A = this chain, B = another copy of it.
Amino acid sequence: MSEQAVDKLTSKDYYFDSYAHFGIHEEMLKDKVRTNSYKDAILNNKHLFKDKIVLDVGCGTGILSMFAAKAGAKHVMGVDMSNIIDKAQLIIEENGFAGKITLLKGKMEEVILPYPEVDIIISEWMGYFLLYESMLDTVLVARDKYLVPGGLMFPDKASMIIAGIEDGPYKEEKISFWDDVYGFKMSCIKETALNEPLVDVVGGNAIVTTAYSFKEIDLKTVTKEELSFSTEFKITALCDDYVHAFISWFDIWFSACHKPVYFSTGPKSNYTHWKQTVFYTKDTLTIDKGDSITGTLTCRPNGSNPRDLDISIEYNLDNKNQTVSDTCIYRMS
């Protein structure tokens, strides 16, 4: 099943707007960790929202705007460039918020807001690996243009974490599979598979090293430029084991709340639709408890396709089993 589906994708009008389909919003809404965190952060902090002007960047179905309206905001503005906002308009009307919420269809950079300043920006902007296809750039534009001094960001902090995992059987299935596909070798696909981070659920037991937070993002101050970065890391073996891959996840804070709201997308936490991001290494590392793997993780938008992320992980292990230094290059696209 291939040719016609490809053909279909040449129709720009037709395939223009993947967020118009309700399925992606269903997945996000049914991610209870995600949605309940926003609900708790907003509805349990009515003292912060009462009589405030709130901006919801990338409002989708309007759920966060409705939380803010319910929390007592004076007015909420929701912005989204996807056609899903047409459904959001019906939804806010159905739920009696037509006078409290104004929805604006378009790019954040171009829409004209009915209020020139906002007290609070709410946004669920996070992508896989936090930054892949994320809407963070847009949130920063909104912050710099509209947020009053001392205004609040919901969420306001994010942290990106790396660890090592034992993942032999699955690496076999995802990578070695291409060595023998019904009797044939497909080396070129194996190579592509190795260079592409895999978004998947990792079991908490797979983690065999300490976790290291390699990037902390303060949403109130971070700049777009700081989202291209290179940072050192050091993780330490928790047991005698093998490392087949690095994994990354992120944690999110709403620290302006009376009782801070926090959630993690890590493998030891409850499932979220962001899962974890797996970076298979060419070599398998043999580690003894207490050994350290040091390295440098670099992340930046691809030069020609800025929506792609170029990620490299340079790592070093020097123990009684082996001496390995390698640089693995990945592209999320």
Are B2 and A9 neighbours in the complex by a CB distance under 8 Å?
no
Beyond A107-B3, A184-B63, whether A22 also contacts B192 by CB under 8 A is: yes
A58 to chain B, nearest CB (A): 4
Beyond A1-B134, A2-B60, whether A87 also contacts B189 by CB under 8 A is: yes
Are B58 and A3 neighbours in the complex by a CB distance under 8 Å?
yes
Q: In the complex, how many residues of chain A place their beta carbon closer than 8 angstroms to a beta carbon of chain B?
A: 69
| CB 8 Å contact bits of A25-38 with B (1 = contact, 0 = none) | 11011100001100
Beyond A35-B182, A66-B184, whether A1 also contacts B135 by CB under 8 A is: yes
A330 to chain B, nearest CB (A): 15
- A255 proximal to B (CB < 8 A): no
CA distance A94 to B87 in the complex (A): 51
Are B14 and A95 neighbours in the complex by a CB distance under 8 Å?
no
Are A4 and B307 neighbours in the complex by a CB distance under 8 Å?
yes
Residues of B with C-beta under 8 A to A28 = 1
- A74 proximal to B (CB < 8 A): no
- A324 proximal to B (CB < 8 A): no
- A137 proximal to B (CB < 8 A): yes
| CB 8 Å contact bits of A122-138 with B (1 = contact, 0 = none) | 00111100000111011
Are B82 and A189 neighbours in the complex by a CB distance under 8 Å?
no
CA distance A161 to B55 in the complex (A): 50
Kindly identify, within residues 245 to 289 of chain A, every residue whose CB is under 8 Å from any CB belonging to chain B: none
Are A1 and B126 neighbours in the complex by a CB distance under 8 Å?
yes
Nearest residue in B to A25 (C-beta to C-beta)?
Answer: B189
Residues of B with C-beta under 8 A to A84 = 2
Residues of B with C-beta under 8 A to A18 = 5-6, 9
6 CB-based A-B contacts, threshold 8 Å: A4-B138, A5-B18, A5-B127, A6-B17, A94-B186, A94-B188
- Which residues of A line the B interface, CB within 8 A? 1-12, 14-19, 22, 25-26, 28-30, 35-36, 39, 57-58, 60-61, 63, 66-67, 70, 80-82, 84, 87, 90-91, 94-95, 107-108, 124-127, 133-135, 137-138, 177, 181-189, 192-193, 305, 307
